[in-house]
């Protein structure tokens, strides 16, 4: 399996964030996932540009930044300057999604589009030719530690068919309730990137958990 693992810092210990980033650096993880929440688009506030900037200084993996905010266009260049390598915006938050995706790529980042659990993948048909990644939220966004929504498997399979039938070079990422119990099934359904937060940072051995998610043995 050639899937990637992107541990989510939303579940890290913020009193020891440098330590946790160093752990991810030394692990088999491929990316570092950062969730940016504004308390408006989602009912929670996480962290913003200063944290991304400081993580960038010590991170040895690409920064996979997910903007769960309204009007993300105002901040695209600032997150690029802060060090984002992949920048994902919410479908539901973008009035002119094609323009947003195009600008992310113009700035030199990979462009992702995320959809909430209630949003059908069929609405992505006109953005797939332009996006680099689609993030399927497998919980309602805003808080870590939620239970995986099992209906997500059907969305993943449908999106994988759409991508394959049209020959698009688009990867599928999933985030929400991802752990050892469902990771294999998600990769088999067509997922390329697994985001895991609590499963990694709440485990007795985070590096070993990342290894298991990566190797799925």
Q: What is the pLDDT of residues 170-195, one digit of tens each?
A: 999 999 999 999 999 999 999 999 99
Range name among 17-31, 65-79, 137-151, 158-172 with the lowest pLDDT average: 137-151
Residues 120-149 have a mean pLDDT of: 89
Which CATH architecture best describes the domain 4-215? Alpha-Beta Barrel (3.20)
pLDDT at residue 146 in the model: 67
Angle, CA of 14, 200 and 151, to the nearest 5°: 115
The mean pLDDT value of the chain amounts to 95
In this structure, what token pair is assigned to residue 134? Answer: 């689609």
- 1 pLDDT more than 90: no
pLDDT at residue 133 in the model: 98
Residue 35 is a catalytic residue = yes
- Exposed, middle or buried by CB within 10 Å (0-12, 13-18, 19+), for 62? middle
What are the residue ranges spanned by the domains of the chain? 4-215
Catalytic residue (choose from 20, 38, 175, 179): 175
pLDDT at residue 43 in the model: 87
Q: Three-state SS for 28?
A: coil
pLDDT at residue 13 in the model: 97
- 66 pLDDT more than 60: yes
Residue 175 is a catalytic residue = yes
- Exposed, middle or buried by CB within 10 Å (0-12, 13-18, 19+), for 204? exposed
CA 22/CA 44 separation, integer angstroms: 26
- 141 pLDDT more than 90: no
Angle, CA of 212, 169 and 144, to the nearest 5°: 40
- 136 pLDDT more than 60: yes
- Spatial contact of 213 and 5, defined as CB atoms under 8 Å apart: yes
In this structure, what token pair is assigned to residue 21? Answer: 């980033």
Catalytic residue (choose from 35, 38, 179, 192): 35
């Amino acid at each position: 399996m050639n899937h990637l693992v992107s541990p989510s810092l939303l579940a890290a210990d913020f009193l020891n964030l440098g330590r946790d980033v160093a752990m991810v650096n030394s692990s088999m993880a491929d990316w570092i996932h950062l969730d940016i929440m504004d308390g408006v688009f989602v009912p929670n506030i996480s962290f913003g540009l200063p944290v991304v900037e400081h993580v960038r200084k010590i991170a040895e993996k690409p920064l996979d930044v997910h903007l769960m905010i309204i009007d993300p266009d105002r901040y695209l260049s600032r997150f690029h300057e802060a060090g984002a390598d992949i920048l994902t915006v919410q479908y539901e938050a973008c009035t002119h999604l094609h323009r947003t995706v195009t600008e992310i790529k113009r700035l030199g980042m990979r462009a992702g589009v995320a959809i909430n659990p209630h949003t059908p993948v069929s609405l992505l048909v006109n953005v797939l030719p332009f996006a680099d990644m689609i993030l399927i939220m497998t919980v309602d966004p805003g808080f870590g530690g939620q239970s995986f929504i099992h209906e997500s498997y059907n969305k993943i399979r449908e999106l994988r068919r759409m991508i394959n039938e049209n020959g698009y070079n688009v990867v599928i990422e999933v985030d929400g309730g991802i752990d050892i119990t469902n990771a294999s099934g998600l990769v088999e359904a067509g997922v390329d990137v697994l985001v895991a937060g609590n499963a990694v940072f709440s485990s007795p051995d985070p590096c070993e958990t990342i290894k298991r998610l990566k190797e799925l043995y």
